Amino acid sequence: MARTLKVAAAQLGPIHLADSRRRVVARLIDLMHEAASAGCRLVVYPELALTTFFPRYWYDDLVETDRFFEREMPGQETRSLFEEAKRLGVGFHLGYAELVRESGRTHRFNSAILVGADGVVIGKYRKIHLPGHAEHRPNIPFQHLEKRYFEVGDFGFPVWRAFGGILGMAICNDRRWPETYRVLGLQGVEMVLIGYNTPTRNIYYPEPPHLCALHNDLALQSGAYQNGTWVVGVAKAGAEDGQELMAGSCIVAPTGEIVARALTQEDEVIAHECDLDLGAYIKNSVFNFAKHRRPEHYRRIAEQVGARVEV
């Protein structure tokens, strides 16, 4: 009897600065209803799914960004999402900006939670790879200030046994780094949930636009195949107050094949009945880590940060 999990990638269209959380949560619930009607047991929402992608703006004082952060999850404005999920018997993944007081200090993370069908939080992940810059660059079309507004995540890349399988999470830029998937893969991960907010314009290099979609697929597909895991990539897409975010949400099989793809840049549900045993043959053959990996030759990966030319 194959272990299957019908998962929904619940892509979001743009969230503008003026959009209230109440309005956004209503959209999330509509997508959850559509996913539940299609028989999905798990709904995956994007990165920063409650607000606009605010790291595109410079704020002199960090306190000005507080309005984008959640101090508790669920909170007053997200409780209805948890309650509806419990009523429907559906679990979900949600990306959001987390503000927390720990050891007398305020910490801000780009976070994601995994919530069970009973409405209880199973696990939390805090984004580790923070792209962009920390200083104000007034001469570019928009900022990318995740290094200013968030701390590097402090939970590592954990996995959880849930929904009949072994699940892990990553957030946006994490998906571009093979280390993300390999650390999860070394824990036997069978499905990686990844929300993203990816500007279509590269502000650092005049890159041809077609590469945005290629790099997204390349990162998700290689991560899936090289670790024999399902990968669910979910976008917040479209033009948020004029700044374009890529769509391209997709569900990738452990073979690396894209089995479902969003067609729009709007709120859209795509779904697939995932066979959680499909990755087993990959884990037991071509990527049988125990049999083939040679960590004694990989030390640079863990010990060296930047590239060093020594020849």
Residues that bind ligand ING (CB under 6 A): 131, 172-173, 176, 196-199, 202
111: left (phi over 0), alpha (psi -120 to 50) or beta: beta
Q: Which is nearer to ligand ING, 92 or 142 (CB)?
A: 142
Q: Which is nearer to ligand ING, 74 or 233 (CB)?
A: 233
Q: Which is nearer to ligand ING, 79 or 147 (CB)?
A: 147
The CA distance from 10 to 268, in Å, is 6
The CA distance from 256 to 261, in Å, is 13
Q: Which is nearer to ligand ING, 250 or 276 (CB)?
A: 250
274 is catalytic: no
The conformation of residue 193, written as its DSSP 8-state character, comes to E
Q: Which residues contact 54 (CB under 8 A, 6 or more apart)?
A: 17, 48, 65, 68, 97, 149
40 is catalytic: no
Selecting among 40, 84, 98, 127, the annotated active-site residue is 127
Structure tokens at 270: 């795509």
The CA distance from 91 to 57, in Å, is 32
Residue 180 Cβ vs ligand ING, minimum distance, rounded to whole Å: 11
Residue 245 Cβ vs ligand ING, minimum distance, rounded to whole Å: 9
Residue 236 Cβ vs ligand ING, minimum distance, rounded to whole Å: 9
Residue 118 Cβ vs ligand ING, minimum distance, rounded to whole Å: 30
Q: Is the Cβ–Cβ distance between 84 and 32 less than 8 Å?
A: yes
Residue 285 Cβ vs ligand ING, minimum distance, rounded to whole Å: 31
Selecting among 70, 98, 146, 172, the annotated active-site residue is 172
Structure tokens at 88: 């429907």
Which SS3 state, helix, strand or coil, does residue 173 take? helix
Q: Which residues contact 25 (CB under 8 A, 6 or more apart)?
A: 50, 77, 78, 80, 81
Q: Which is nearer to ligand ING, 36 or 172 (CB)?
A: 172
Q: Which is nearer to ligand ING, 218 or 263 (CB)?
A: 218
The conformation of residue 12, written as its DSSP 8-state character, comes to B
Of 47, 6, 35, the C-alpha closest to 237 is: 47
Structure tokens at 288: 């049988």
Residue 311 Cβ vs ligand ING, minimum distance, rounded to whole Å: 28
- Catalytic site positions: 47, 127, 172
